[in-house]
């Protein structure tokens, strides 16, 4: 258990800046998720904390000690690699015993080792695989062994690099739930890297959204979801992606599309009359109502209805603009139907106008100060 | 005639393919012929060695002569001793190459540092020039520093043959090895040296076996270095074989052939023993495909 503090971390590979000035403080016992697309620098950040990368600048502090120039085997961190990195010539039990045998994670005799391995393999449900070699395991089993090699030893920090990414969807959901329940995980400071927003929202005490080597926003899942700092964060979270519509502010309303429909300006948005803005509406925040019953609703025609399990994804044509709406399916609207759409004022996100990633117009809970989680 | 349906995997007879097969068989016989000729020659007696083709009275005596005799009437070569010298020279060269070459290959495969590519290229460049080009200066140097006709000297010079081979082959093996494996060992609490010994080395064992075998064969078959830089003390079997050609007197082709066959045995035996280590794909399952 330890705090982790990263300040102004920099690392370039050739001309590519993999990590470009990252600063973050992680509290003791916190489950901290770094979320970002591939190539954002997530793994580089993680390996910098592990000491596997010679950083170009900045500092990494673990438990109050500057470890920037400390060898990885002196840092007392455990890491699960995205590639699993199991030793191919060793069996599962030998793989799990490896960190216990190095002598740098504490001294264990044979029976203590067996006990620890037994404990962790029971938790992960892999104790029938102890005699097998990694090549004889499925991806899901390898994943568990890699996790087991992390959990089997006491460490100041757990570093998990996309530990669920190569599992199929069902197993991933199951493992996600398991991860959260692991006792060791809740007691040990954990840095978790993922590109899956659901994992981030489900697991993280706090989430840092990363793009091109920089942190775009740090906050609790709630803050990241409710108040995305810019359109990049807004788009990174949620499936289907958030709807972004160009609009003009006019008299407390924002006119959208060809100007024939509008939404109110949310209370905390900072924009003035005549401003050009982008409005973000999450598909799940848009509600389908009877087109005739609610005069204030936005009116449109359903172009496409796709059933996705428990939800129906509707593509609605509203005065030439296309809105994606996630409906429960109970409304019973089919393609070609006229529908009314409503959105709560607090679910309307206003961003600056322009192409690419534009910032939120309004308060963003950006935080970098140390925050206790429990 | 109606065309018959083919089973899956069954091929229709074609003249082109049949001609190719016949051609390959001929090529196979042709390429085996020198070896067959050598075997036949080794079984002929002195009288028949130049007068017969396939019909002769076979005898094993040539092998006995080569092994037991400390030379024939015409030569003064101790073939058995040269065989042992060869084993020491080549074995020594391969061992030294592995001890120095494996860490060198690891460093070259894992890290790029200033001049690392130049260093690798320079090592390969030993093999560009014909040995005959460097042999005269080497001969002068060896004479002056007292390495002429010593086993140490031979091991040293055979190094030039085996080291580049070992380093270049193993470097690609180490490059193929995912770095994550050693990094995992570092985080398990092992030093870089132990990570190398515990993780990287066992996985590239097939590569080491292959490189060692190739290096041994190249060293074993080297002719020019022992011919010029060694004599009776450190002379190798390749040179000893040619002594049976008589050097101006009668040429014992049959003894030469017998000696060549015996000389080919050690690499052959080594290749057969090492074969089971030559399997690749040992690292399968270590990391995701």
What is this model's ipTM? 0.85
CB distance A285 to A234 below 8 Å: no
Write out the H or E segment, with its range, that includes residue B211.
helix B205-220
The answer to whether residue B87 is domain-embedded is yes
A50/B187 CB distance under 8 A: yes
- Domain A243-352, CATH homologous superfamily name and number: Nucleic acid-binding proteins (2.40.50.140)
Average pLDDT score, chain A? 88
B287/A78 CB distance under 8 A: no
Please tell me the distance from the alpha carbon of residue A207 to that of residue A197, in angstroms, as a whole number.
10
At A11 the pLDDT is 95
At B248 the pLDDT is 63
Q: What φ, ψ does residue B108 adopt, rounded to 5°?
A: -70, -30
Mean of the pLDDT values across residues B87-101? 96
Q: Does the pLDDT at position A23 exceed 50?
A: yes
Does A232 touch chain B if contact means CB atoms closer than 8 Å? Answer: no
The C-alpha angle A48, A52, A54, rounded to 5 degrees, equals 65
The C-alpha angle B156, B157, B158, rounded to 5 degrees, equals 95
**251-270 of A, contacting B, C-beta below 8 A:** none
At A137 the pLDDT is 92
3-state secondary structure of B44: coil
Q: What φ, ψ does residue B287 adopt, rounded to 5°?
A: -130, 165
- Return the residue of A nearest to B184 by Cα: A85
A50/B180 CB distance under 8 A: no
pLDDT tens, B76-91? 668 888 899 999 999 9
Q: How many angstroms separate the CA of residue B269 from the nearest CA in chain A?
A: 27
- Same domain (yes/no): B143, B30: no
The answer to whether residue B1 is domain-embedded is no
At B283 the pLDDT is 43
At A368 the pLDDT is 41
Q: Does the pLDDT at position B288 exceed 80?
A: no
Locate B18 and state its tokens: 């049949």
pLDDT tens, A93-135? 999 999 999 888 888 999 999 999 999 898 888 989 999 999 9
Q: Does the pLDDT at position B107 exceed 50?
A: yes
At A180 the pLDDT is 80
At B11 the pLDDT is 67
Average pLDDT score, chain B? 86
Write out the H or E segment, with its range, that includes residue A313.
strand A311-318
- Same domain (yes/no): B101, B175: yes
Residues of chain B with pLDDT > 70, as a percent, come to 88
The answer to whether residue B286 is domain-embedded is no
Does A120 touch chain B if contact means CB atoms closer than 8 Å? Answer: no
Mean of the pLDDT values across residues A161-188? 81
Mean of the pLDDT values across residues A210-230? 93
Cis? peptide before A38, omega within 30° of 0: no
**Size of chain A in residues:** 374
Does B177 touch chain A if contact means CB atoms closer than 8 Å? Answer: no
If one compares B131 and B282, the residue with the highest pLDDT of the two is B131
Q: Strand order in A348-352's β-sheet? A: A261-264, A253-256, A243-250, A276-281, A348-352
Count of structural domains, chain B: 2
Please tell me the distance from the alpha carbon of residue B164 to that of residue B102, in angstroms, as a whole number.
11
- Same domain (yes/no): B107, B49: no
At B73 the pLDDT is 53
The answer to whether residue B287 is domain-embedded is no
Mean of the pLDDT values across residues B235-249? 82
Residue B247's pLDDT band (boundaries 50, 70, 90)? low
Q: How many angstroms separate the CA of residue B207 from the nearest CA in chain A?
A: 15
Least confident of A208-217, A227-236, A293-302, B261-270: A293-302
B186/A87 CB distance under 8 A: no
Locate A260 and state its tokens: 């024939």
Q: CATH 3.40.50.300: which residues of chain A?
A: 4-236
- Same domain (yes/no): B124, B266: yes
Q: Does the pLDDT at position B12 exceed 80?
A: no
The answer to whether residue B74 is domain-embedded is no
pLDDT tens, B111-134? 888 888 888 888 888 778 888 888
Q: What is the pTM of this model?
A: 0.82
CB distance A207 to A186 below 8 Å: no
Classify residue B87 as exposed, middle or buried by CB count within 10 Å of its CB (0-12, 13-18, 19+): middle
Q: Does domain A4-236 have CATH number 3.40.50.150?
A: no
- Same domain (yes/no): B32, B140: no
Does A70 touch chain B if contact means CB atoms closer than 8 Å? Answer: no
Cis? peptide before B219, omega within 30° of 0: no
Q: CATH 2.40.50.140: which residues of chain A?
A: 243-352
The answer to whether residue B282 is domain-embedded is no
Integer distance in angstroms from the first to the last C-alpha of chain B?
50
At A362 the pLDDT is 80
Tell me how far CA of residue B179 lies from CA of A45, B100, B189, in angstroms.
17, 21, 16
E strands present in chain B: none
- Return the residue of B nearest to A52 by Cα: B183
Please tell me the distance from the alpha carbon of residue A2 to that of residue A12, in angstroms, as a whole number.
27
- Same domain (yes/no): B193, B121: yes
**Size of chain B in residues:** 289
- Return the residue of A nearest to B203 by Cα: A89
A52/B186 CB distance under 8 A: yes
The answer to whether residue B183 is domain-embedded is yes
Q: What φ, ψ does residue B115 adopt, rounded to 5°?
A: 80, 10
Locate B176 and state its tokens: 């193929």
Locate B1 and state its tokens: 């005639």
Q: Does the pLDDT at position B71 exceed 70?
A: no
- Return the residue of A nearest to B289 by Cα: A83
Mean of the pLDDT values across residues A233-259? 88
Half-sphere exposure of B258 (CA within 13 A, CB side): 24
- Same domain (yes/no): B132, B46: no
CATH number for B173: 1.10.3720.10
| Residue B211 structural domain | 79-277
pLDDT tens, B19-40? 999 999 999 999 999 999 999 9
Q: Given the DSSP bridges, would you call strands A77-80 and A157-161 parallel, antiparallel or unpaired?
A: parallel
If one compares A81 and A104, the residue with the highest pLDDT of the two is A81
Locate B150 and state its tokens: 């010593």
Rg, Å, chain A Cα set = 24
At B285 the pLDDT is 41
At B59 the pLDDT is 86
DSSP assignment of A66-83 equals E-TTS-GGGS-EEEE-TT
Mean of the pLDDT values across residues A162-187? 80
Rg, Å, chain B Cα set = 25
Close Cβ partners of B272 (under 8 Å, ≥ 6 residues apart): none
- Same domain (yes/no): B116, B247: yes
Classify residue A191 as exposed, middle or buried by CB count within 10 Å of its CB (0-12, 13-18, 19+): buried
pLDDT tens, A277-324? 999 999 999 998 887 776 677 888 999 999 888 889 999 999 888 899
Residue of A62, A79, A85, A92 to mutate, testing the B interface (most B Cβ within 10 Å of its Cβ): A85
- Same domain (yes/no): B146, B262: yes
Please tell me the distance from the alpha carbon of residue B72 to that of residue B49, in angstroms, as a whole number.
16
Q: Does the pLDDT at position A182 exceed 90?
A: no
Residues of A in contact with B187 (CB under 8 A): 50, 52, 72-73, 77-79, 99
The answer to whether residue B51 is domain-embedded is yes
Q: Does the pLDDT at position A254 exceed 80?
A: yes
Mean of the pLDDT values across residues B64-69? 78
B187/A77 CB distance under 8 A: yes
At B278 the pLDDT is 67
């Amino acid at each position: 258990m330890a705090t982790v503090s990263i300040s102004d971390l920099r690392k370039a590979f050739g001309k590519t800046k993999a990590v470009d000035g990252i600063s973050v403080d992680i509290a003791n016992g916190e489950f901290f998720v770094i979320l970002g697309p591939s190539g954002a620098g997530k793994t580089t950040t993680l390996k910098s904390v592990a000491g596997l990368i010679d950083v170009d600048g900045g500092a990494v502090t673990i438990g109050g000690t500057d470890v920037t120039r400390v060898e990885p085997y002196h840092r007392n961190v455990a890491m699960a690699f995205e590639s699993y990195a199991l030793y191919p010539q060793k069996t599962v039990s030998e793989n799990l015993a490896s960190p216990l045998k190095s002598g740098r994670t504490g001294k264990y005799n044979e029976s203590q080792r067996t006990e620890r391995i037994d404990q962790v393999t029971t938790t992960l449900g892999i104790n029938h695989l102890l005699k097998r070699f990694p090549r004889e395991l499925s991806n899901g089993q390898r994943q568990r062994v890699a996790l087991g090699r992390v959990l089997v030893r006491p460490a100041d920090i757990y570093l998990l690099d996309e530990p669920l990414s190569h599992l199929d969807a069902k197993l991933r959901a199951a493992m996600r739930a398991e991860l959260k329940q692991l006792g060791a995980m809740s007691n040990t400071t954990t840095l978790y890297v993922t590109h899956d927003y659901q994992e981030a929202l489900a697991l993280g005490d706090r989430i840092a959204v990363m793009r091109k080597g920089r942190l775009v926003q740090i906050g609790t899942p709630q803050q990241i979801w409710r108040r995305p700092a810019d359109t990049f964060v807004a788009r990174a979270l949620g499936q289907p992606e958030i709807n972004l519509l160009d609009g003009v502010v006019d008299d407390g309303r924002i006119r959208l599309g060809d100007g024939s429909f509008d939404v109110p300006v949310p209370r905390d948005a900072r924009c003035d009359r005549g401003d050009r803005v982008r409005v973000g509406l999450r598909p799940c925040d848009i509600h389908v109502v009877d087109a005739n019953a609610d005069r204030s609703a936005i009116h449109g025609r359903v172009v496409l209805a796709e059933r996705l399990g428990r939800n129906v994804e509707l593509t609605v044509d509203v005065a030439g603009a296309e809105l994606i709406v996630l409906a429960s399916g109970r409304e019973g609207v089919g393609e070609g139907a006229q529908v009314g759409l409503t959105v709560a004022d607090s679910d309307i996100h206003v961003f600056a106008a322009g192409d690419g990633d534009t910032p939120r117009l309004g308060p963003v809970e950006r935080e970098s100060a140390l925050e206790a989680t429990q | 005639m109606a065309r018959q349906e083919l089973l899956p995997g069954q091929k229709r007879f074609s003249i082109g393919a049949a001609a190719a097969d016949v051609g390959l068989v001929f090529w196979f016989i042709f390429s085996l012929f020198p070896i067959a000729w050598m075997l036949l020659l080794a079984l002929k007696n002195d009288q028949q060695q130049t007068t017969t083709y396939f019909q002769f009275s076979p005898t094993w005596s040539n092998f006995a002569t080569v092994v037991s005799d400390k030379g024939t009437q015409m030569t003064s070569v101790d073939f058995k001793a040269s065989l042992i010298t060869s084993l020491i020279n080549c074995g020594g060269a391969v061992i030294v190459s592995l001890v120095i070459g494996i860490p060198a290959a690891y460093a070259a495969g894992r890290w790029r540092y200033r001049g690392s590519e130049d260093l690798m290229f320079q090592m390969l460049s030993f093999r560009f020039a014909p040995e005959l080009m460097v042999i005269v200066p080497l001969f002068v140097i060896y004479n002056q520093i007292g390495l002429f006709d010593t086993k140490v000297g031979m091991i040293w010079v055979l190094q030039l043959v085996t080291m580049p081979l070992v380093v270049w082959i193993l470097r690609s093996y180490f490059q193929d090895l995912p770095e994550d494996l050693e990094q995992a060992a570092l985080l398990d609490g092992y030093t870089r040296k132990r990570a190398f010994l515990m993780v990287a080395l066992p996985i590239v064992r097939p590569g080491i076996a292959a490189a060692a075998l190739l290096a041994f064969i190249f060293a074993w078959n080297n002719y020019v270095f022992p011919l010029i830089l060694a004599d009776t003390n450190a002379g190798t079997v390749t040179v000893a074989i040619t002594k049976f050609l008589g050097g101006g007197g009668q040429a014992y082709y049959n003894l030469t052939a017998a000696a060549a066959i015996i000389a080919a045995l050690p690499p052959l035996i080594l290749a057969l023993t090492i074969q089971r280590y030559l399997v690749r794909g040992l690292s399968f399952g270590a990391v995701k495909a």
